[in-house]
Amino acid sequence: MAMINFLILPILVPLITAVILIFLNKSVIAQRWVSGLSAFVTVILSALLVNKVKNDGIQTLNLSNWDAPFGITLVSDMLSALLVLTTSIVAFACIIYSFKGIGEAREKHHFYAALQFLIVGVNGAFTTGDIFNLFVFFEVMLMSSYALILLGGTNIQLRESIKYILVNVISSGLFVIAVGYLYSVVGTLNMAHIAERISEISGISQPGVISIIGIIFLIVFGLKGAIFPLYFWLPGSYYAPPAPVMAIFGALLTKVGVYSIIRTYSLFFYEDGGYVQQVIMILAILTIIAGIIGALAYWDVKKIIIYNIIVAVGVILFGVSTMNENALTGSIFYLIHDMIIKAALFLLVGLMATISGTNNLKQMGGLIKNYPGFSWTFFLAALALSGIPPLSGFVGKVLIVQGGFSSEYFIGAAIVLASSLFVLISIMKIFINGVWGEPKTYANEKSVPYKQLLIAPVILVILSICYGVGADFVYPYISQAAESLINTNIYIDAVLKE
């Protein structure tokens, strides 16, 4: 019994740290130490949790000892444990980058505390097994993201946060509505129990209402996860805050939406005759195309990477929508890869913009002469992003395409395949124009703490290389995660203990 409590620790440690950090706001040095150490401890704890789930199967915790369908249950299956681990690693890297990259003014105004609260929300959303509790963790995450996007109060931040908050308030309203509809149909909030009830209902009557609820959930999570018609807010909002915040947002927030789509779809809406599945697949393909158009169109380094988030979301969702074991394994592989590499790329691009004092590619050039370390790291990250073997994007994409072809979704699989090329073009545009070419002198480049800022992205890129090269070692973990999505009875039985 004592060991089962373990799965709440990746939520609890950042929460306690955040509270401590609020009281330390005068001393920047103390804040850095506390938040760095705590993030490191969270990484260790979540790695132990992954190991625990690997050896002993799905871990559950009934809060306050209320039995499963009645109280709030926290569930750690392999998927959520892996995502918690990745979140902790990304957060750790972003915190290290922030030591030099965020500026003392922001650090004194509770930057680290807000970041820790954000980790609470993200880890909680990955871990919870209760649909309303998922909403609450979403709100924890969103509230901290409001704080992070606003912190600093520059004009662009104020302007973009109004839109960001408005979009998220509306989507939270829809979330509560969807939960209300679902509750009126199935009369329960525990996700495993909902899945059980829905399969009972589908056996008796026509499940039209379930499809409608599925679509509302898709809109809610699609707004967070930036799928095709609902990504309109993302390029503007993510552009506003400084690089470490952008890295956290780009790597984690959209992925929480994607995770929620995967979770609810595999548990609830898989048995409705394929309606929700078709919608997700079409939207996923359109998402890839829209993302590519954006990524190719801009000459702004941050915008290019931001649109690459949208491409990745499409690729992951396409793999999920085929509901084919290969493609699903590939999607999870790609999801984790994308969290790591997007964080690395945002930090690198942030560094690039700090050195050159501009976001515009046309005013950059020749960084490889004075900053070879940065340039080669960026090159490796770019290759990993577009999925060049043996780097980490490759395995996931191969599995997704393979699964897509074997389930005979030829168009979608071909588009996923082609998207890699366009991603490569968009990212090589940064490399050719920013890194190669005539070296230029920039006004403020001497004052940039270049070496310290390079540490975090280098850690992430090395990790991503290990993740790709060591795919054989990682594969059993990923396939265990995919197994509990395909065969949902494993998940349901673990929660309800029948």
Partner 1 sequence: MEILMIFIAGILFMSATYLMLSRSVVRIILGTTVLSHGVHLLLLTMGGLKRGAPPLVGEEASAYTDPLPQALILTAIVIAFGVTALFLVLGYRSYKELGTDNMEKLRGNDGND
Least Cβ distance, residue 9 to partner 1 (angstroms): 24
> Binder to partner 1 among 176, 418, 432, 462 (CB under 8 A)?
176
Residue type, 222: G
Q: Which of 29, 63, 169, 462 binds partner 1 (CB under 8 A)?
A: 169
Restricting to residues 142-161, which ones interact with partner 1 according to CB under 8 A? Answer: 143, 146, 150, 153, 155-156, 158-159, 161
Residue numbers 347-386 binding partner 1 by CB under 8 A: 358-359
Instruction: Give the Cα separation of 224 and 216 in Å (integer).
Output: 13
Quote the CA–CA distance of 350 and 450 in Å, as a whole number: 11
Site for partner 1 in 238-297 (CB under 8 A): 239-240
The nearer residue to partner 1, 29 or 166, going by C-beta atoms, is 166
Residue 80 CB, shortest distance to partner 1, in Å, is 22
Q: How far apart are CA 402 and CA 396, in angstroms?
A: 10
- What stretches of 227-271 adopt beta strand conformation (E)? none
What are the strands, taking DSSP E only, across 114-245?
A: none
The answer to the question of residue 173 lying near partner 1 (CB under 8 A) is: yes
User: Closest distance between partner 1 and the C-beta of residue 136, in Å?
Assistant: 6
Reported as type and span, the H/E element at residue 36 is: helix 28-56
* Least distance to partner 1, CB of residue 440, Å: 18
Which residue of 53, 79, 189, 310 would you call a contact of partner 1, by CB under 8 A? 189
Query: By the 8 A CB rule, do 263 and 286 touch?
Result: no
Segment lying near partner 1 (by CB under 8 A), choices 177-185, 217-225, 287-295, 442-450? 177-185
Determine the interface stretch with partner 1 among 129-137, 202-210, 422-430, 489-497 (rule: CB under 8 A).
129-137
Whole-angstrom CA distances from 278 to 270, 316, 317, 493 are 11, 15, 11, 28
**Which residue in this structure is represented by tokens 């957060």?**
91
- Smallest distance, partner 1 to C-beta of residue 253, A: 16
Paired with 74 in beta bridges are 61, 128
Tokens describing residue 9: 């620790």
**Residue 140 or 335 with smaller CB distance to partner 1:** 140
Pick between residue 132 and residue 376 the one whose CB is nearest to partner 1.
Answer: 132
User: Please, which residue, 153 or 373, has the CB nearer to partner 1?
Assistant: 153
- Binding-residue total with partner 1 (CB under 8 A): 34
Secondary structure (DSSP) of 381-395: HHHHHHT-TTSHHHH
What's the residue count for the chain?
A: 498
Nearer to partner 1, 159 or 451 (CB): 159
∠ CA 215-135-71, nearest 5°, is: 110
Q: CB-wise, 208 or 476, nearer to partner 1?
A: 208
Q: Cβ closer to partner 1: 172 or 370?
A: 172
Letter for the amino acid at 56?
D
Q: Segment contacting partner 1 (CB under 8 A): 33-41, 50-58, 183-191, 264-272?
A: 183-191
404-to-7, 202, 235, 419 alpha-carbon distances in Å: 34, 27, 29, 14
Helix, strand, or coil (residue 172): helix
Q: Which residues pair with 59 in a beta bridge?
A: 76
Specify the residue, 132 or 436, whose C-beta has the smaller distance to partner 1. 132
CA separation, residue 425 to residues 97, 414, 433 (Å): 28, 17, 12
In the complex, the smallest distance separating the C-beta of residue 156 from partner 1, rounded to whole angstroms, is 5
Closest approach, Cβ 154 to partner 1, in A, equals 9
Alpha-carbon distance values, 344 to 85, 128, 247, 359, 460 (Å) = 16, 27, 8, 17, 6
Which of 40, 132, 233, 379 binds partner 1 (CB under 8 A)? It is 132
Encode 438-463: b = buried (16+ Cβ within 10 Å), e = exposed. Answer: eeeebeebeebebeebbebbbbbbeb
Among 47, 165, 216, 496, binds partner 1 (CB under 8 A): 165
Positions in the binding site for partner 1 (CB under 8 A): 132, 135-136, 139, 143, 146, 150, 153, 155-156, 158-159, 161-163, 165-166, 169-170, 172-173, 176-177, 179-181, 183-184, 189, 236, 239-240, 358-359
